[in-house]
Amino acid sequence: MPASSDSSSGSASAPVTICVIGSGYVGLVAAVCFAEMGHRVLCVDNNEAKVAQLQRGEAPIYEEHLPEMLARHLNHGVTFTTDLAAAIRPAEAVFIAVGTPQGSSGAADLSYVEAVVSQIAQAMNGYKVLVEKSTVPVYTNEWITRCMHRHGVASDQFDIVSNPEFLREGTAIGDFLHPDRIVVGANNDRSADLLRRIYAPLTTGGYYHQPNALPGPCSADQPAKLVVTSAQSAEIIKHASNAFLALKISFINAVSNLAEAVDANIEDIALGMGLDARIGPRFLRAGLGYGGSCFPKDVAAFSWVAEQQGIDFHLLDEVRKINDRQLDLFFDKIRSALWTLRGKKIAAFGLAFKSDTDDTRDSPAIALIRRLLDAGVHVAATDPAAIEAAQRVLPASGALTYTDDPYAAAEDADAVVILTEWCQFATLDLNRLNRALKFPIVIDGRNLYSPDVMRDHGFTYVSVGRPAVYASTQGRPRKTPL
Ligand code: NAD
Ligand code: UDX
């Protein structure tokens, strides 16, 4: 089927009974948003504790709008269960939203997807559309088909559709209900039409007419666009999009190193580049590099896909190398600002892989703190949302303490390092911070402050891709002589 784009199709507005398997960042957000769009949703997870929490109406993740939306639809539009077979039987569409982590070869580990497909096959009771919501390599649709056949399910009983998810953590609900685009990779009209029906409230604009609709960039006049492609193309669209965004970040980070070498300013450079409409300003923030549960593994998985097909795509290896190097360079900056590290106390501002989330998976902040601890540093870490998650991977110890108060973390520290771009860290009381620190040194991996402002507040301030500024020792009594 050739690619087509529409923003008004979706003939019927009849609610669809949907089963979503996996209630993590993607599955839970999709389930609640489908309910918000008027569908009946059964959301399954094999984590009993998580399902019990959801049944009590408690959101297991930190995500804007999720608690209210969960409260609005719990036990009306959406129910949660561990019983996969019971949830599948009434469903017309089954969304698979389980994890696809990175395997040892770099390839996506599809064992969770395969386990779920086997369970679906055993619970089939009539025609259903199986939807790949998880990020998967190209041809996964064919593997799912084969797996269904192996379990004795006839071809006329199911179709596979790829419907990749582009939400970002922290803005997941808004991204889902106001998407830049909805991609549907379907190999026939029957299955594509069911997906059109599911997304009709967004593509016809019906949802945005509702008085309590979540406000955002889409509207009744400018509804969401839905693009129909083949399943293979849709699978590639997801990997290629994430790889391209990661590339954009690595590109600006490489330029930031050049800027630093010649005393230029990466923020001015990114502004000047981003004003070109062909480039655009987004994803041009230089810093510690990208992290999270998607970019690192998706770049690796896409690279593996290319290698399997004999395609030279070494560009992706460079994207990863630049990203890894960015953390090394930042660590070197800390060392050169503090001379030696063993026995020093550093306040680490940030644990989550980015702001507005409690997710610490593949967080550059966690990786950096590990290195500091290995170097004998005492770390006082703070984060507005991710302390609990961080403690699970880096338990508190004699060398590592956690506090939710950044000023307490900074108390008597030799320096602050800024690791996550939370607005709370961009709006600190700089005089108070200066007074708390033993030495007024801030090493900023997210470029949250203007160097001039930091110098005016008496700080030595080292950031990414911009000239460092140094505090004058006059005018500020030091707690300990240098
Ligand atoms: P997650 O780890 O937060 O959630 C996965 C959930 O699936 C878990 O709750 C787990 O208990 C459940 N699960 C695993 N096996 C199961 C089974 N057999 N039956 C029922 N439940 C099962 O993962 P996530 O971040 O939501 O990501 C899911 C997929 O979506 C991945 O492929 C990811 O790459 C993709 N994706 C993630 C994001 C994101 O921002 N997190 C965005 C777009 C796409
Ligand atoms: C990403 C994709 O953006 C989203 O479309 C996909 O569905 C899932 O993966 P997410 O991982 O939630 O979303 O976060 P994102 O906002 O993309 O940031 C990823 C990482 O890149 C973070 O560590 C962030 O700090 C970093 N980043 C982002 C930069 O370093 N510079 C930027 O300009 C943008």
When divided into structural domains, the chain yields a total of 2
Determine phi and psi for 451, rounding to 5 degrees. -55, -40
Domain assignment of residue 103, yes or no: yes
Domain assignment of residue 428, yes or no: yes
Sorted by sequence, the CB contacts under 8 Å of residue 342 that are 6+ apart come out as 375, 376, 377
Residues 298 and 181 in one domain: no
294 is a catalytic site residue = yes
Residues 18 and 113 in one domain: yes
Three-class DSSP labels, 75-138: CCCEEEECCHHHHHCCCCEEEECCCCCECCCCCECCHHHHHHHHHHHHHCCCCEEEEECCCCCC
Domain assignment of residue 334, yes or no: yes
Residues 353 and 411 in one domain: yes
Pick from 207, 229, 251: which residue ends a domain?
229
Pick from 229, 256, 284: which residue ends a domain?
229
Q: What does the DSSP assignment read for 260-286? A: HHTT--HHHHHHHHHTSTTT-STT---
Residues 166 and 289 in one domain: no
296 CB less than 6 Å from ligand 2? no
Please state the atom number of ligand 2 nearest to the C-alpha of residue 421: 25
Residues 246 and 147 in one domain: no
CA of 47 to the centre of ligand 1 (A): 12
381 CB less than 6 Å from ligand 1? no
DSSP character for 155?
G
Residues 312 and 400 in one domain: yes
Domain assignment of residue 402, yes or no: yes
Q: What is the pTM of this model?
A: 0.95
Residues 184 and 322 in one domain: no
Domain assignment of residue 235, yes or no: no
Residues 31 and 151 in one domain: yes
Q: Which ligand is nearest to the CA of 85?
A: 1
CA of 290 to the centre of ligand 2 (A): 7
DSSP character for 375?
T
Residues 58 and 111 in one domain: yes
Residues 452 and 334 in one domain: yes
26 CB less than 6 Å from ligand 2? no
22 CB less than 6 Å from ligand 1? yes
- Helix, strand, coil percentages for the chain (3-state, nearest 5): 40, 15, 45
Pick from 229, 260, 277: which residue ends a domain?
229
Domain containing residue 426: 240-482
**CATH number of the domain bearing residue 46:** 3.40.50.720
Domain assignment of residue 234, yes or no: no
Residuewise pLDDT in 10s, the chain (482 residues): 545 555 434 345 699 999 999 999 999 999 999 999 999 999 999 999 999 999 999 999 999 999 999 999 999 999 999 999 999 999 999 999 999 999 999 999 999 999 999 999 999 999 999 999 999 999 999 999 999 999 999 999 999 999 999 999 999 999 999 999 999 999 999 999 999 999 999 999 999 999 999 999 999 999 999 999 999 999 999 999 999 999 999 999 999 999 999 999 999 999 999 999 999 999 999 999 999 999 999 999 999 999 999 999 999 999 999 999 999 999 999 999 999 999 999 999 999 999 999 999 999 999 999 999 999 999 999 999 999 999 999 999 999 999 999 999 999 999 999 999 999 999 999 999 999 999 999 999 999 999 999 999 999 999 999 999 998 753 444 444 33
Residues 49 and 171 in one domain: yes
230: nearest Cα among 162, 308, 131: 162
Residues 99 and 201 in one domain: yes
Domain assignment of residue 287, yes or no: yes
